[in-house]
Structure 1
Amino acid sequence: MATNTLRLLKELSDIQKNPDQAIYVSYDEDDITNVKALITGPPDTPYEYGFFEFNMQFPRDYPTTPPKVSAITTNGGRTRFNPNIYAGGKVCLSILGTWRGEAGEQWSSAQGIESVLLSIQSLMSANPFENEPGYEGAGHKGKGYKKEQEQYCQKIQHETFRVSILQRLEGYLRINPSTGRVSPADDTSHLSPAERELEEQKRTHLEPFADLCKRLFRYYYHTYIRTISKASESVAEGQSFSIMPFEYGGNQMGGRFAYRELERRMNAVKAAIDAEGETWAKQGAEAAKKDEGISASLRLQFSQTCQHFLSKYDGTVMLELIEDNPFCWRIIYIGRPMTNLDGGLFQIKLILSQRFPEEQPRVLFETPIYHLNITPDGVPYYRARKADDIKSHIEALIEVLENEQLSPDPRTWMNLDAAQLYFGNSAEQREYRKTFRRAVQRSTEY
């Protein structure tokens, strides 16, 4: 195996094991030199939780020579998301040799995939206007450009929703943006399980980030809606985007603000993703009746998992199959004595796809809970140590419930009102604890 191939394999493996940077990679094992990467926009920027895809092509003499990187999320070559990320896909970075830089900023063999992707992510700042050469700092030729900076962020934020999130998810879900419904030509409900599996395999090969983006959308839907509501107050519906002094020809971001339409489409995407989970349950029930291979495997895994939690958690965690469907698990968690969860009784539904683990479980708290890491409608943020092990998923969910030192990373905040209290002053922190305890006490009513 060539040296550059070994180096690439190690780098890709390291990134896949550590998603903390919010960068993700996918590659074809038959051609490891062609890598797809997804960067999620950093919080508190106009790119917040958007999905930005890039293609990376590695030369034979890598890492002596840097990869060639092109942006894929460009609205078909019509949208320039950053002064350094062109509508045509060009990414201007000194370490890539696509932009002149200061001494020490050029590529070296010590750099790699992660350093390139983190450099691109750093371009997605709170004020990307200043990425344009000559417009850095407080002003340009005596003019502050404060208004232009604000206008530039406003339109990037709008197009992050429209292009990087909605267009992508609507494409994955095969739904018509105008109606929010699945196009008849893309409806696979009439296919047999084997035919559906083949179709999904084809789609996954072409769309390696589909399941990831659906899961992230479930996490951040409420953040999206809140941001849309707030952003719509600062611009007029139908107002044209302002063209920046450094935008020209086809290399710009043109368009109009249409936040009401974006909110409608956001809700349609959420409904489609929710419905997809229910479809998994129905398809699983069909497969279980026919006793297909995966259903038998899941029944065995369910039995083993029950034994594991019975011995390890001393009766505080119980499992059951919903309607005897091995693709639908219910987790029953009883709060441990002398903890903040004492007296609580929580039911959590876990739905599995027939394509697990390529498609990760859809998890929902059926019992309402007020928690920083759980959305108001019950979607938890968690990270399983072993994505292909259901037991690992359940342990991660229990860890979310029992962890009393919550992360300050805003990417884990699923309930923004709860986050404001939890990380607020002492009075607000007390209010968080009181509200949390009230939810625990009411949990037995459901």
Structure 2
Amino acid sequence: MSNHSIIRITKELADIQKNSDLSLAVACRDVDVRNVKAIIIGPSDTPYEFGFFEVGEMRPHIHKLEYPANSSQFQVKFGKDYPAKAPTVVATTTNGGRCRFNPNIYAQGKVCLSILGTWRGERGEEWSSAQGVESILISIQSLMSSNPYENEPGFETANDEGDKKNQKEYVAKIRHESLRISVIQRLEEYLGISPTGEVAPQCPSTSDSDDDSHDIDRDYDEGSVNFEPFRDLCKRRFLWYFDSYLLAIKKASVEVKDGQQFTRMPFECTGNCMEGKFNYTELERRLRLIKKTLDEETDRWAVEGLIIKKREGTAAANLQRQYEQVVEAYKRDKNVTLTIELVDKNPFVWCIAYFGRPMTNLDGGLFRIKLSFSPRFPDEQPRAKFETSLFHHRIALDGTPCYTTKRVEDAKSHIEAIIEALEEESPPYDPRTLVNPEASKLFWGSADDKKMYNRKLRRAVQRSME
């Protein structure tokens, strides 16, 4: 592959990583920018809502296609013709080739799009060198609609009673499998949980090494065949959307019964379909176990952190230094009133006391926020939790705030981002940031709904000082 092609791919990936889109992410091994993975977060108000759909390595021009050992990823090689020709894209969230998530996304991973040359399109829809990875991902995301049944050629305008019934049943089984495969199964693999509920034991290392990279087993071995760049992203998003997943289960459970068979669609065939049974009772049990295991993982970071501090590891020294700098910075900042202390003198656990800014809905409130850092920070981002209950559209029921920062290695930027999300009074509507379903419905509802939201928020602020 020419240097021009490599430079082009590198720039495209950097541009995607720099933007603020909360529904797309890309990554590659540092040693080879040609091996690209991407993940698409399922759009809201669709059966794919907040699912984690992974696209395998996107490489221009296939030479060979094969399944590598112990992996669900496809291995292909770069040609010399990118961006003149479209890359080959393989969808890998298919339950090992057994689940077709869309009429245009096959169980074997094929993605049918005119932009990729895998489906006939109208004039002007073909690939051009002006397009790139981001335009491909957006095109794939557009397939994840509220009625994917219409994506199948010949069924775009079907509206007889049989098709209406099929549309409803197709949406129902996609919603179930999106939760089961793209969310639950993925997180269980990350956390070492079996579908039956057994959790692999995990404990901090007790070796005498002073090297932090040997102290705690790393999740991000970029040189290994198990390249999992979205592990931390999916864990954090799961905590954001946990309440939404439960709400989706509650609503769907009214429409179908456990044990009810999926309906095969007219365009599905053996080896390229979505088959199975509904079992939302089991999905809810597995979801709650994932949440419990993630909370336990966060608690375990504190224990691991004390071990690293005792050994005077570099990760502990870095966080201790950042803590001291952040404390001094906020002493000088007259616009924000907060205090920060270490919990049990552990630099991996910060306790923040934030005083609501005057002349805002938070005025008079005192909010305690726990910020837990991973021993692998910044490869793993910190997890924040409001220990003071607060009714807010950006704070989940368990206290997890929804926020983002581009300076993930800077602890102060995480605090700033949390406060910004908390104080924003007129945010643009973005369903990807609404992690409290009840609060979100009121905040974006009618004028009376908004008044009710403000009343509930103010009552929570008043209780924070009791």
Pair in the same fold by TM > 0.5: yes
Distance 1:54 1:201 in 2: 18
Alpha-carbon distance, 1:176 to partner: 1.4
**What is the match of residue 177 of structure 1?**
195
Q: Alpha-carbon deviation of 1:309?
A: 1.2
User: CA 1:161/1:318 → structure 2, altered by over 3 Å: closer, same or farther?
Assistant: same
Partner residue, 1:135: 155
In the alignment, does 2:216 pair up with 1:197? Answer: yes
Please show how residues 162-241 of structure 1 align to structure 2 within 5 Å.
Answer: 162-179=180-197, 181-184=198-201, 187-189=202-204, 192=207, 194-195=213-214, 197-202=216-221, 206-241=227-262
Moved more, 19-28 or 36-45: 19-28
Report the Cα offset of residue 317 of structure 1: 1.4
1:188 deviates by: 4.8
> Is the Cα–Cα contact under 8 Å of residues 356 and 365 in structure 2 kept in the other structure?
yes
1:124 counterpart = 2:144: yes
Q: Which residue of 1 aligns with 2:21?
A: 20
Task: Quote the offset at 1:60 in angstroms.
Answer: 2.3
Report the counterpart of residue 352 of structure 2 in structure 1. Answer: 331
1:101 — aligned with what? 121
Letter of the 1:306 counterpart:
V
Q: State whether structure 2 residue 103 is matched by structure 1 residue 83.
A: yes
The letter of the residue matching 1:213 is: C
For 1:292, the aligned partner's letter is G
Q: Work out whether residues 188 and 196 of structure 1, in 8 Å CA contact, stay in contact via their aligned partners in 2.
A: no
Task: Map 1:311-390 onto structure 2 (within 5 A).
Answer: 311-313=332-334, 316-390=337-411
Aligned-partner Cα distance in 2 for 1:52–1:19:
18
Cα RMSD, aligned residues only: 1.6
- The answer on whether the counterparts of 2:218 and 2:376 sit within 8 Å (CA) in structure 1 is no
Whether contact under 8 Å (2:361, 2:458) holds in the other structure is yes
What is the rounded CA distance, in whole Å, between the counterparts of 1:274 and 1:77 in structure 2?
32
The residue identity in structure 1 corresponding to 2:255 is S
Deviation at 1:420, TM superposition (A): 1.3
Task: Report the alpha carbon displacement of residue 427 of structure 1 after superposing the two structures with TM.
Answer: 1.4
- Structure 2 residue 149 is the aligned partner of structure 1 residue 148: no
Structure 1 residue 143 displacement after superposition: 6.2
| Runs of 5+ unmatched residues, structure 2 | 61-78
- TM-score scaled to structure 1, two decimals? 0.95
Aligned residue in 2 for 1:417: 438
Match of 2:461 among 406, 425, 440: 440
SS in 2 for 1:236: coil
Question: In 2 relative to 1, CA 155–191 (structure 1 residues): closer, same or farther, beyond 3 Å?
Answer: farther
| Aligned with 1:160 (options 168, 173, 178) | 178
Distance change in 2, residues 1:443/1:9 (3 Å): same
Paired residue type of 1:376: L
* Aligned equivalent of 1:280: 301
Shift in alpha-carbon separation, 1:218–1:44, aligned structure 2, 3 A: same
Cα deviation for residue 313 of structure 1 reads: 3.6
For structure 1, the residue ranges without an aligned partner over 5 or more in a row are: none
CA contact (8 A) 1:84 1:92 kept: yes
Q: Which has the higher helix share?
A: 1
> Identity across aligned pairs (percent)?
52
Kindly report structure 1 stretches of 4+ aligned residues shifted beyond 6 Å.
Answer: none
In structure 2, how many angstroms separate the alpha carbons of the residues matched to 1:115 and 1:335? 42
Q: CA deviation at 1:314?
A: 5.2
Q: What is the CA–CA distance in structure 2 between the aligned matches of 1:265 and 1:287, rounded to whole Å?
A: 32
8 Å Cα contact 1:382-1:400 kept in structure 2: yes
Pick which of 395-404 and 269-278 moved more.
Answer: 395-404
What are the Cα deviations for residues 367-405 of structure 1, in whole angstroms up to 9, with x where unaligned?
A: 000101101110000111311111100001111222111
- Looking at structure 1, the residues matched to 317 and 215 of structure 2 have their Cα atoms a distance apart, in angstroms, of 19
Q: Is the 8 A contact 2:302 2:372 kept in 1?
A: yes
Query: What TM-score results when the alignment is normalised by the length of structure 2?
Result: 0.91
How many angstroms does 1:256 deviate by?
0.1
* Amino acid in structure 2 at the alignment position of 1:359: E
Judge conservation of contact 2:249–2:280 (CA < 8 Å) in 1.
yes
Whether the aligned pair in 2 keeps the contact of 1:138 and 1:144 (CA below 8 Å) is no
Deviates more, 1:199-208 or 1:358-367: 199-208
> Alignment partner of 2:347: what SS?
coil
Structure 1 residues 68, 405: closer, same or farther in 2, change over 3 A?
A: same
